[in-house]
């Protein structure tokens, strides 16, 4: 799966949790999920579970600790699909 395709799906999954919808207009790999998109950190587990379902992968808790940006999600998922 191409990185651009993964990123599109990642952004679609993140969208319902995004508090700053304007930030979605300029989303890139550098976009920070908590700081730029204002996703509540308590919802990250829901996001990870949605990634696992959407991409049919398993994401270890330790890997989640390394995820800060949309690009981090794309790289993590890309390595598993």
Q: Which residues bind other proteins (CB under 8 A)?
A: 40, 42-46, 48-49, 61, 64
- List the alpha helices (DSSP H) in the chain: 3-14, 44-55, 61-64, 70-78
* Separation of alpha carbons 3 and 31, rounded Å: 15
CB of 28: closest distance to other proteins in angstroms? 27
CB of 42: closest distance to other proteins in angstroms? 4
CB of 55: closest distance to other proteins in angstroms? 17
Q: Which is nearer to other proteins, 30 or 58 (CB)?
A: 58
Q: Which is nearer to other proteins, 17 or 29 (CB)?
A: 17
* Separation of alpha carbons 35 and 55, rounded Å: 25
Q: Which is nearer to other proteins, 19 or 28 (CB)?
A: 19
Cβ atoms of 78 and 6 within 8 Å: the answer is yes
């Amino acid at each position: 799966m191409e990185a651009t395709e993964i990123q599109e799906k990642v952004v679609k999954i993140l969208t319902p949790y995004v508090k700053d919808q304007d930030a979605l207009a300029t989303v890139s790999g550098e976009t920070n999920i908590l700081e730029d998109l204002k996703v509540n950190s308590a919802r990250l587990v829901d996001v990870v579970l949605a990634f696992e379902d959407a991409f049919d992968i398993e994401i270890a808790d330790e890997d989640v600790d390394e995820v800060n940006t949309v690009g981090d999600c794309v790289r993590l998922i890309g390595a598993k699909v």
